[in-house]
Amino acid sequence: MKNFSMAGFLVVLIPLIAVVVGILIHNIVFLDYVHVLLGAIWIGVDAFLGVIFRFVYVDIPEDTLSDVSERILPATMYYLPATSFLTPLAGYFLAIYEGIWNPYSDIFMLIIVVASLVVATGLLTVFYQSLKIYLEKSKGINSVVSPKRRFDVICNGALIQLVLQVILVGFMAELVVFG
C-alpha cells in the first residue's frame, strides 16, 4: 500500500503544482498548455479505461484482475478526481485571463453543465468504485462484488466521461474559435 499511496500522491501533486504555477504567474500560454495537456491526458485515461481496457479485462482471471486493480487504482482514484477539478480550474482562469469569461452566454452555460456532468459521472462511477476496491483491499476484505463487475462500472463511467469530454471540447473550441 505504500507504493500505492506514493503513486497517488505524485499523480496529484505534479498537476496541482503545474496549475497553481500557471495561475500564479498569470501566463496564458503556460496555463493553456497545462489545461490542454491535463485535459488530453484525462481524455486519454478515459479512452483507455472506457474503450481499450474493457476488452482486455474480460479475459483476465478474477484473481489476476484483483491484482491488476491494485496497479490501476492510483490513476483512477487519485488522478481522475484531481484532474477533473484541476482541468476546469485552469480553464476558468484561462477564460478570465483571456477576457472571454461570460457566465451569461449560452455556450458558457453548456460548458458548465457538461463539465459538471463529466465530473459527477467520474465521481459516481470511477472514483466511487476505485475507493471501494481500495478500502476493501486495505482492510483485507473479500468483496461479494466481483472485480469484473467493478471494472464494468469503472469502464462504463470512463466511457460516459469520454463522450461528454469530446462534446465539452467541441463547445470550448466553438467558444475560442468563434467567440
- pLDDT at res. 151: 84
For residues 93 and 101, is the Cβ–Cβ distance under 8 A? no
CA gap 177, 167 in Å, rounded: 15
* Number of compact structural domains in the chain: 1
User: Which residue range is the domain that position 147 belongs to?
Assistant: 2-178
For residues 158 and 50, is the Cβ–Cβ distance under 8 A? yes
pTM, rounded to two decimals: 0.84
pLDDT tens series, the chain, 179 aa: 556 667 777 888 999 999 999 999 999 999 999 999 999 999 998 999 899 988 888 888 888 887 787 777 766 778 888 888 899 999 999 999 998 888 888 888 898 999 999 989 988 887 888 788 778 777 877 777 777 888 888 889 999 999 999 999 999 888 888 76
